[in-house]
Amino acid sequence: MYRLIFWAFAAYATIAFVSLQFVSAPYGRHLREGWGPKINATLGWVIMEAPASLVFFACWLTGEPTRRFSATGLIFQVLWQTHYVYRSFVFPFRRRGGQREMPISIVLMAILFNLANAYLNASWLYTLGPERAATWLADPCFLAGITIFAAGWWINQQSDQILFNLRKPGTEGGYRIPHGGLFRWVSCPNYFGELVEWFGWALCTFSPAGLAFALASAANLVPRARSHHRWYRETFPDYPPERKAIVPLVL
Ligand SMILES: NC(=O)c1ccc[n+]([C@@H]2O[C@H](COP(=O)([O-])OP(=O)(O)OC[C@H]3O[C@@H](n4cnc5c(N)ncnc54)[C@H](OP(=O)(O)O)[C@@H]3O)[C@@H](O)[C@H]2O)c1
């Protein structure tokens, strides 16, 4: 079953990457008609991201006891939940811009992605993959990975905060040119931070599931960053010309 879900996940990411070259996922500034019924976007974010946190926790609960309570097992849990508890239960309520909506079809696709991803990562760490002893915590792979993860998390948080500050609490949506932090270099540093985070995760867990997740995130976020970047350039004639879409100085 694990292999089947792994390859289904890889196929899903590949299809998403190809399709997103032609259509942008219809939420946020790219929301448009023709994608079926919609729900409140705050609720949508909670429903679609919560499975990532809950399934990872459930796989930990049902994993091998020696792995669950090992130092590495607990650290992996903390890293994952630091991201996903925030993304599921805090981020949706910090967004500003009034009561926006998102298509239920997007919510359903994201739920599938998160269910598979959390299962693949957690069952590899807590049941199926090689057991990581405490000595792993001194391994250069782990140390480099956790440092990269922390840097990505910080960039993601800082960029989200800059975006939230563009709108006053209680006001309706509307977009402005963001400045500060890594916005100096790219249009979507929040996406860049997220990618850095998950490549750091792949390294510090040294797992095929971690790598698959990082690549699947890139499959989603690189095309979306390019759509945002195009949109900024078309919308604001004074948009800083030196900014790239997602990777400073490169892309
Ligand atoms: N791992 C993955 O595969 C994956 C996939 C998708 C998202 N994510 C993560 O989820 C988070 C949110 O994603 P997102 O696609 O919603 O990001 P986004 O398009 O950058 O929007 C983030 C928030 O900032 C607001 N915003 C963005 N640009 C703005 C501007 N120029 N002026 C005023 N407000 C602005 C948005 O409002 P509106 O909603 O009104 O546009 C939204 O509330 C990101 O951190 C991303 O990395 C991860």
Instruction: Write down the residue that tokens 């995130």 correspond to.
Output: 217
Q: Which tens digit of pLDDT belongs to each residue from 117-132? A: 999 999 999 999 999 9
Residues 194-200 have a mean pLDDT of 98
The two tokens of residue 28 are 């946020």
Q: Please say if the pLDDT value at position 47 is more than 80.
A: yes
Kindly compute the dihedral angle of the four CA atoms of residues 113, 116, 121, 124, in this order, to the nearest 10 degrees: -160
Q: Is the pLDDT of residue 169 over 80?
A: no
Q: How confident is the model at residue 100 (pLDDT cuts 50, 70, 90)?
A: confident
Report domain extents, the chain. Answer: 2-235
Atom of ligand 1 nearest to the CA of 232: 31
Q: Whose C-alpha lies nearest to ligand 1, atom 45?
A: 190
Ligand 1 close to Cβ of residue 167 (< 6 A): yes
The distance of Cα 172 from the centroid of its chain, to the nearest Å, equals 25
* pLDDT single digits (tens) 102-113: 999 999 999 999
Which residue has its alpha carbon closest to ligand 1 atom 16? 28
Region 167-182 average pLDDT: 87
Block residue for tokens 């960039």: 155
Q: What mean pLDDT, rounded, does the chain reach?
A: 96
Span 246-251, mean pLDDT?
96
Residues 92, 46 contacting (CB under 8 angstroms): yes
On the CB side of 14, CA atoms within 13 Å amount to 6
- 20-36 residue pLDDT tens: 999 999 999 999 999 99
Nearest to 176 by CA among 250, 244, 232, 96: 232
Q: Closest ligand 1 atom, CA of 25? A: 15
CA of 53 to the centre of ligand 1 (A): 19
pLDDT more than 90, % of the chain: 95
Per-residue HEC secondary structure of the chain comes to CHHHHHHHHHHHHHHHHHHCCCCCCCCHHHCCCCCCCEEEHHHHHHHHHHHHHHHHHHHHHCCCHHHHCCHHHHHHHHHHHHHHHHHHHCHHHHCCECCCEEEHHHHHHHHHHHHHHHHHHHHHHHHHCCCCCHHHHHCHHHHHHHHHHHHHHHHHHHHHHHHHCCCCCCCECCCCCCCCHHHHCECCHHHHHHHHHHHHHHHHHCCHHHHHHHHHHHHHHHHHHHHHHHHHHHHCCCCCCCCECCCCCCC
Ligand 1 within 6 A of CB of 197: no
Q: Which atom of ligand 1 is nearest to the CA of 110?
A: 5
- Give the residue-averaged pLDDT of 167-176: 80
**Cα 114 to ligand 1 centroid, rounded to whole Å:** 17
Round the CA-based radius of gyration of the chain to a whole number and report it.
18
The pLDDT tens digits for 57-70 are 999 999 999 999 99
The answer to whether 223 touches 15, Cβ cutoff 8 Å, is: no
Q: Quick one: what percent of the chain has pLDDT higher than 70?
A: 98
With beta carbons less than 8 A apart as the criterion, state whether 119 and 53 touch: no
Cα 165 to ligand 1 centre (Å): 13
The verdict on the CB of residue 95 being under 6 Å from ligand 1 is yes
208-236 pLDDT per residue, tens:
999 999 999 999 999 999 999 999 999 99
Asked whether the predicted pLDDT for residue 172 surpasses 80, the reply is no
* 12 CA distance to ligand 1 middle (Å): 21
Dist. CA 167 → ligand 1 center (Å): 13
Check pLDDT > 90 for residue 79: yes
pLDDT surpasses 80 at 98: no
pLDDT class of 168 with cuts at 50, 70, 90: confident
Tell me the whole-structure pTM to 2 decimals: 0.96
| Spacing, Cα 172 to ligand 1 middle (Å) | 16
